Amino acid sequence: MTSDPRNVRAAALAPFGVRSFRFQWLADLATSWAFEMEVLILGWFVLATTGSVQQLVAFGALAWLGTLFSPFFGVLGDRL
């Protein structure tokens, strides 16, 4: 079954015809870009300030520590 590429492209771009979707998409894009810039800039700052790759790795690990422990604390909170 082959599809006309023009129809596929039109279907893929159809959500952009909705005004509120365009605003939401731009806001999500800007937020994602800002989070990535924060990680990049803070990582660069830690490395430039300390000169230690180990501290850079520790900084990166600490940023995700809450994600690692949240399932355990969630279960603990449900049982209390």
Residue 59: closest CA among 36, 32, 39, 31 = 39
14: DSSP letter? G
Roughly how many angstroms between the first and final C-alpha of the chain, as a whole number? 56
The rounded percent of the chain whose pLDDT value lies above 90 is 72
Look at the chain and report how many structural domains it folds into.
Answer: 1
Question: Which residue bears the tokens 């690990």?
Answer: 61
Write the pLDDT tens digit of every residue in 33-68: 999 999 999 999 999 999 999 999 999 999 888 898
The Cα angle at residue 61 between residues 55 and 64, in degrees rounded to 5? 150
Whether the model clears a pTM of 0.95, i.e. scores above it, the answer is: no
Structural domain for 11, as ranges: 5-79
Q: What is the mean pLDDT of the chain?
A: 92
